[in-house]
Chains A and B, each alone.
Chain A
Amino acid sequence: MSGTLRSNHDAHHLILERFNDAAKRGVQSLQEFFVLAGKALGFIFVKPFYTGDLFQQMDAIGVGSIGIVLLTGFFTGMVLALQSAVQLQTFGASDYIGRLIAGSMIRELGPVLAGLMVAGRVGSGIAAQLGSMRVTEQIDALNTLGTDPIKKLVTPRVLASLIMLPVLTVINDFVGILGGSIIAMFYLGKPASLYWRTVFEQILSGGFTLHYIPNDFIQGLAKPFVFGGIISLVACYHGLNTTGGTEGVGNATTRTVVTASILILVVDYFLTQIILVLFP
């Protein structure tokens, strides 16, 4: 009897210990992530500036992603218009399809889709590259040669993502709305002028001044900015912490895409809530 009690006690103790270890590791990882983020962002303003690396990353992250952003944006805009057309026709509101497409693309689908695409394409690339550099001792070599790897590798990637993701999102929004216009014209038979007028009504109905920036602009540009930071920092964090050779590089890449994608969707919700409260 006492033997059974003792073994139960030991089992509970073991479970608690494992839980405790896992919690400690989680907190430590979170702390390391925020330290990395703080340093990477802080180094943006500290010399030396690796301008060449920044432009190289802007090219790789931004220009290199235009193709997939154009494709996904265009087809998403078309399918969104196709699905909405059926619903809007039911209520006799199909004239407003431009407003619906513009609002959905600019506020939600543009930033989230561009974010997810870039997380898959760029996030995985960054994690694999930095992970390979870690396992082949190139990160140690940078340290040895008196270069801070965060400044040289992380800061240019984060800054490039912060700049380029909003640009990619605007392109995504535009081709999405363009895709919607094709459905509006050829499926619903609406004139292009009507479609584009409703699009501009959605975006600029309340005007645009320094004191009043329409909600679509705030949501449409703040979200990709935040997503750019999330993708690049998550990728750099997993890349720099790669262990275990080539298998570790694969794990870092997978973890980056999964973590960044989930974070984009979760943060999107909270960011929307915050922006709607702050800018009703």
Chain B
Amino acid sequence: MTDEEDRRRKGDERRHPSEKDETAMPRRAHDSGRVRAAIRNELEEVAEDSAKKETKQGVRSPQEQVITLDNISLAFEEPILENVSFDAKGGETIVVVGESGTGKSTILKLLLRLLIPDKGRVLIDGEDIVDLTFDDALKVRQKMGMVFQGAALFDSMTVYENVAYPLREHTVLTEDEIEARVREKLQFVDLEPDKVNDQMPSELSGGMKKRVGIARGLANNPEIMLYDEPTSGLDPLTTATITYLILKLQRELGVTSIVVSHDIRSAFRMASKIALLANRHIGFFGTPEEMTGSDDSYIREFLGGF
């Protein structure tokens, strides 16, 4: 890839997905004043979108409990989680926050049944997945899409093959139908299929990898999306773009989401509820407003300068 193409690619990626006017967003990262203004505008826009989401929640009844963690305990060589409980109703986005190494990502592995808790129940659509066989667990996982911290794209496959992978594995769609679905999902995450289809993951920037990861997670039209640190290691603009995409998913498709993050700013933008993991327990579970209004000294300290 030439430098010019690379610059164009990075510029494309940093463009806000909803922007039609290319000049409205900064194209050069070092233009810090414009960048700050753009982030401010974008976050305001996201906040407005988020305010509208109540009226647009999707297919699931908001009262229906989709995910329940019931009194979960897990230990390896030392305890990781103790009596952890929270739930997510249809269309909600639960953001799990906490200091590094507190077992946030472990919660996602429990939901995917990549790990089995020592104690407690994990309910997906009311079904306890703890005692499922390996094959049944694979079926439950097909209800979920997962976006990994490093995107975890298969590096021996092109972008197209990555997004098509779950369709080839679990559906009987024809190649034309698969192609149409891949295009739809790539467009949903604001990537141009014709440009990226044949690219290898190693040719993509961090933000593009995350977006392809989201497209792959969405390919099977899952009811639940899980995100592991979706904004870590990204610049502020790309962080805003990924936050926007997660909200867009919630708004337009009514997907129930669990997001593990240490990015409290993004967490407040996207969360229906926030679960704070501290000392192996859930120290707080409630709306962002309840969190900011809390007098708890640990919560105040955790929120710190925010």
A interface list, Cβ under 8 A from B:
48, 132, 136-138, 140-141, 143-148
Asked whether, in the complex, the Cβ of B146 is within 8 Å of the Cβ of A141, the reply is yes
Interface residues as binary, B163-187 with A (CB distance below 8 Å gives 1, 0 otherwise):
0011001100000000000000000
B58 at interface, CB cutoff 8 A = no
Within 8 A of A (CB), among B147-164: 148-150, 152-155
Asked whether, in the complex, the Cβ of A137 is within 8 Å of the Cβ of B169, the reply is no
Asked whether, in the complex, the Cβ of A140 is within 8 Å of the Cβ of B154, the reply is no
Interface segment among B8-16, B41-49, B124-132, B133-141: the answer is: B133-141
C-alpha gap A36/B153 in the complex (Å): 24
Asked whether, in the complex, the Cβ of B148 is within 8 Å of the Cβ of A140, the reply is yes
Most B CB contacts (10 A, CB to CB) among A138, A140, A141, A145 go to A145
Known: A136-B150, A137-B149, A140-B148. A145 touches B141 (CB 8 A): yes
Asked whether, in the complex, the Cβ of A143 is within 8 Å of the Cβ of B155, the reply is no
C-alpha gap A140/B106 in the complex (Å): 12
Asked whether, in the complex, the Cβ of A144 is within 8 Å of the Cβ of B150, the reply is no
B247 at interface, CB cutoff 8 A = no
Partner of A146, one of B148, B152, B166, B216: B166
Residue of A nearest to B138 (CB): A146
Asked whether, in the complex, the Cβ of A137 is within 8 Å of the Cβ of B152, the reply is yes
Residues of B within 8 A of A137 (CB): 148-150, 152
Asked whether, in the complex, the Cβ of B149 is within 8 Å of the Cβ of A140, the reply is no
Most B CB contacts (10 A, CB to CB) among A136, A141, A147, A148 go to A141
Residues of B within 8 A of A132 (CB): 155
- Interface extent on B, as a size class? 20 to 34
Partner of B169, one of A136, A138, A140, A147: A147
Asked whether, in the complex, the Cβ of A141 is within 8 Å of the Cβ of B148, the reply is yes
Residues of B within 8 A of A136 (CB): 150, 152, 155
C-alpha gap A15/B56 in the complex (Å): 65
Closest chain A CB from B54 CB (angstroms): 30
Asked whether, in the complex, the Cβ of A144 is within 8 Å of the Cβ of B141, the reply is yes
Give 18 A-B contacts (CB < 8 Å), ordered by A residue: A48-B169, A132-B155, A136-B152, A137-B152, A138-B153, A138-B155, A140-B114, A140-B148, A141-B146, A141-B148, A141-B154, A144-B141, A144-B144, A145-B141, A146-B141, A146-B170, A147-B138, A148-B138
Asked whether, in the complex, the Cβ of B170 is within 8 Å of the Cβ of A144, the reply is no
Closest chain A CB from B140 CB (angstroms): 9
Residues of A within 8 A of B139 (CB): 146
Residue of B nearest to A139 (CB): B152
B221 at interface, CB cutoff 8 A = no
